[in-house]
Amino acid sequence: MATFVLVPGLFMGAWAWEAVAAELEAKGHRAVAVTLPGLAERAGEDAAGIGLASHADAVAEVLAAAGPGTVLVAHSYGAFPCVAAVDRRPELVSRLVFVDTGYPEAGESMVLTMPQLDLLAGVAGDVVPVPKEIPAVHGVPEAEHDRWLRLATPQPVRTVTEPVELSGDWLRVPTTGVFCLASGLNVVFARSLHATGMPRFAKLAEPGVTFFELSTGHYPMLSAPLELADVLERAADGGGRGLYDS
């Protein structure tokens, strides 16, 4: 049995992982879905006082409660607080799984690494407003899309502008990347990054680093929860392909 800690991306809370968590638990695992400060049922908290460090603190607290051997799953923006939390307590995490996202380096923020999202364009006060829709390319069923629109909450702006603090200790932890093909990410793209020779991409080809591809879009917990749960279970056991495996 494995313990999975599931951290969502922008605008979402623990609710986004309900189907994945249920499937993991049906397989005999423990699944802990996280709502970060200022989001979902925690949206009443003071957004002005919540930054990326607040989210990293929240993930670190959940990891400490879960204990050693945890599989930490980070979707999209969730990579930032998850990497920061693992950097503090790498001994608690057996594997860090990135779902349709890359990993930041010290001093980077989400708005710096993902300028194409233009997150600050519609900022209202201390929060980034919820987008009007999930693009159809991501394959989210209508009912799940409607639920997302109903439950999504604005994102505290400092969580996407505050730079992540890292010592590099997290790099010792085995990782798995789950690429969602409709987003344009795949193993071939990861190989091209590694081939640049840039130090930040060296980890992609290390032993213990594996990859999966899913034929869906950026929200697999909504569009393909059973398939994602299966991949997470296999990742926990070290499954998946290496960067240059055929």
- DSSP class of 118: -
Identify the CATH number of the domain defined by range 3-236: 3.40.50.1820
The pLDDT value recorded for residue 194 is 98
pLDDT > 70: percent of the chain: 100
- Tokens 């591809």 locate to 213
Determine the Cα–Cα distance for residues 34 and 212; give it in Å rounded to an integer.
23
Q: How many CB atoms lie within 10 A of CB 153?
A: 21
Task: Supply 22's token pair.
Answer: 């249920």
The pLDDT value recorded for residue 124 is 80
Residue 217's Cβ-side half-sphere holds a number of Cα atoms within 13 Å equal to 12
The pLDDT value recorded for residue 122 is 84
Strands 70-75 and 30-33: unpaired
Q: What are the φ/ψ torsions at residue 197 (nearest 5 degrees)? A: 80, 5
Task: Supply 64's token pair.
Answer: 């400490």
Q: What is the pTM of this model?
A: 0.97
- Tokens 């505290």 locate to 156
The yes-or-no verdict on residue 198 having pLDDT over 90 is: yes
Angle 201-179-128 from CA coordinates, rounded to 5°: 90
- Enumerate the domain spans of the chain: 3-236
Average pLDDT of the chain to the nearest whole number: 97
The yes-or-no verdict on residue 246 having pLDDT over 90 is: no
pLDDT digits (tens, 9 = 90+) for 21-73: 999 999 999 999 999 999 999 999 999 999 999 999 999 999 999 999 999 99
pLDDT digits (tens, 9 = 90+) for 102-156: 999 999 999 999 888 899 988 988 999 999 999 999 999 999 999 999 999 999 9
